[in-house]
């Protein structure tokens, strides 16, 4: 089960597709965060969801909100995928220790060694304001994310 709303979001530092470290702490006090866990790069449902973010990036990522996506893929796989798909938001690697951040958020799938489809809206103070988890093959409703972001920004 994903961590509950109203709880402090677990901190993390992961490498993005450019092998640069990105920390949740970088945004505390500055921006809300839309944190999107997905199973694997180069897979149909994941690609569709991240392309949905890319195609609507102005709606999700603003001066007040940062999009961060996370999977257990390596930064090198993320680099190729980001270049191929034109992703201009961080694709973070939860590669090693394997799935540690997904585990901290309660969305790691132990049987398959990957993150389930966890989505979190974290406010500027680092508190989880929206949390959901879908299983592999279950797509998510991006409109629900937008509603959660609208509420946290109100």
On whether the 13-153 domain is CATH 3.30.70.260, my answer is no
Q: Which of 14, 22, 46, 142 is catalytic?
A: 46
**27 in Cβ contact with 33 (< 8 Å):** yes
- pLDDT of 38-48, one tens digit each? 999 988 788 88
Instruction: For residue range 2-19, list pLDDT tens digits in order.
Output: 999 999 999 999 999 999
Residue 108 vs residues 52, 54, 60, 80, 114: alpha-carbon distances, Å: 23, 24, 24, 24, 6
Question: Please, which pLDDT band fits residue 129 given cuts at 50, 70 and 90?
Answer: very high
What φ, ψ does residue 46 adopt, rounded to 5°? -60, -45
**What are the percentages of helix, strand and coil residues in the chain, rounded to 5?**
30, 25, 45
Q: Mean pLDDT, to the nearest integer, of 35-59?
A: 90
Model confidence pLDDT, tens digit, residues 24-34: 999 999 999 99
131-153 pLDDT, tens per residue?
999 987 788 888 899 999 999 99
Say whether 51 is catalytic.
Answer: no
User: What average pLDDT does this structure show over 48-69?
Assistant: 94
Note the pLDDT tens digit of each residue in 91-116. Answer: 999 999 999 999 999 999 999 999 99
Instruction: List the chain domain ranges.
Output: 13-153
Q: What is the pLDDT of residue 137?
A: 79
pLDDT of residue 110: 95
């Amino acid at each position: 089960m994903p961590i509950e709303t109203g709880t402090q979001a677990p901190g993390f530092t992961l490498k993005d597709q450019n092998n640069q470290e990105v920390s949740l702490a970088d945004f505390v006090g500055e921006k809300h965060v839309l944190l999107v866990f997905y199973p694997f790069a180069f897979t149909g449902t994941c690609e569709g969801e991240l392309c949905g973010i890319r195609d609507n990036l102005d709606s999700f990522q603003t001066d007040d909100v940062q999009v961060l996506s996370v999977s257990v893929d390596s930064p090198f796989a993320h680099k190729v995928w980001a270049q191929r798909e034109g992703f201009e938001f961080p694709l973070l690697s939860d590669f090693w220790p394997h799935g540690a951040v997904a585990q901290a958020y309660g969305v790691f799938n132990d049987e398959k060694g990957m993150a389930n489809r966890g989505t979190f809206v974290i406010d500027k103070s680092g508190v989880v304001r929206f949390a959901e988890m879908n299983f592999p093959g279950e797509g998510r409703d991006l409109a629900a994310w937008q509603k959660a972001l609208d509420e946290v920004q109100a």
